[in-house]
Structures are given as structure tokens and as C-alpha cells.
Amino acid sequence: SQTIHQWPATLVQPVGSPLSLECTVEGTSNPNLYWYRQAAGRGLQLLFYSVGIGQISSEVPQNLSASRPQDRQFILSSKKLLLSDSGFYLCAWSTNEQFFGPGTRLTVL
Amino acid sequence: GEDVEQSLFLSVREGDSSVINCTYTDSSSTYLYWYKQEPGAGLQLLTYIFSNMDMKQDQRLTVLLNKKDKHLSLRIADTQTGDSAIYFCAAVNAGNMLTFGGGTRLMVKP
């Protein structure tokens, strides 16, 4: 069966610090991978998606970036965090249906 | 692009039925999904319906699709306190991308 992992589960970072969130998928090959952000009490905003290794599409211009160094690994990064980067970050994978990881709650102070 | 809309909030009593509604704009949407998000957790896929279907039933869940009106609903029979969560509707567009509604917060009163 397929599983999706995200870490860390929670993170508190100061403004201006770097960020690296990791997502890995098991039990499937060549999935589409996604990063979403959910601001407090709001819906989901698609940040990045990837259809293969090294292929990243950005949906929203921002100070975040994504990379896919391996087929089942998707990384969300920032060189300098902003207060507005606080939120709940969800990784997802899909073939037909889309399945979500447990999320990372990021608080930028 | 696709626009998916949901009401923000629904409150029901335990044992009653809940109906969560969703509208979408892209008539070429092939699959429509319902996800559940419990506090502090990721999204759990509840059910989905293919666009050539009118109805899908899965235990306490019934999904109705009115393709003409681009209206989707999720009915939860015999709603329990454990059903309290945020429910997201999502539609797949021609590029196989999901567009999510803003979520409906369901509160179940004992």
C-alpha cells in the first residue's frame, strides 16, 4: 500500500531563517507530487507540483522553492522565511486520486 | 480557471443528516472529490464521483452530482460527533490538477 510521510510535524522558525520541509512517498512509482499551504481557518493553496524528477511547476510567486531530487521525494525550501509563510503545509501525491500527508505546521516568529 | 465554492459553516444535531454543498465552474471536470480534515491533521479522501455518475453511496455517505448545474453535495446520514471536521470539495480540471473549495466546517452538537 502507498504511504506518504512529512517531517517535521511542527516547526517554529525565526523570520529570516531558512526552511526545508521534506515529503516522501512509498509504494508507488512516478507519482505526481504537490505542495499546498493552508493558512489558519482557510482553504488550500497549491504552491508547487511536480510530474517527475527535476520537474517543478510553481503556481504562486513567492519566496519558497521546491525540488524533487528523487522520484518519491519532494522538498519545500526557503532561503529566508517571512512572517506570512506561517501556515500548515501539506504534501500530496496522485495517480488518479490525490492523497495527502499529515502536514507540517510552520510558525514563523 | 476552475472556481470551487462552498459554504463556510454547517451546524447539525447528532443523529440528524448533514448536507454539504459545493459548486464548481469547469464543466469539463472529470472527477469530483470530498476530503475530510480533522483539527491539526492532513486531508483524508472520503469519496469521489466520476462526472458521468449522478449518485454514489458509501455507507453513511451519499454524493449527488448535478452536472447541468455544476452542483455537488455530500450527505452524511446519522451524523456523529466524530464527523465534526472541515470538509473540502475538489474538482479535477483538464490538466489533471485539483482545485479545492474553501472548506465547510461541520459542527455536530450532542
Q: Are strands A32-38 and A87-94 parallel, antiparallel or unpaired?
A: antiparallel
B62-88: pLDDT as tens digits? 999 999 999 999 999 999 999 999 999
- Whether the CB of B32 is below 8 Å from some CB of chain A: the reply is no
C-beta neighbour count of B6 within 10 angstroms? 24
Mean pLDDT in order along chain A per 10 residues (109 residues): 88 96 91 88 84 88 89 95 93 84 93
Query: What angle is formed at CA A94 by the lines to CA B66 and CA B32, rounded to 5 degrees?
Result: 5
* B100 CA: distance to closest CA in chain A (Å): 6
Taking only the tens place, the pLDDT of each residue in B30-72 is 889 999 999 878 889 899 998 889 999 999 999 999 999 999 9
Torsion of CA A102, A38, A75, B48, to 10 degrees: 60
State the Cα–Cα distance between residues A77 and A85, nearest whole angstrom. Answer: 11
Q: Nearest chain B Cα to A6, which residue?
A: B42
Chain A residue at shortest CA distance from B100? A44
Looking at residue A47, its pLDDT comes to 92
Q: Is B101 on the interface with A (CB under 8 A)?
A: yes
Q: From the list A94, A96, A100, which residue is nearest B43 (CB)? A: A100
- In A, which residues are within 8 Å of B34 by CB distance? none
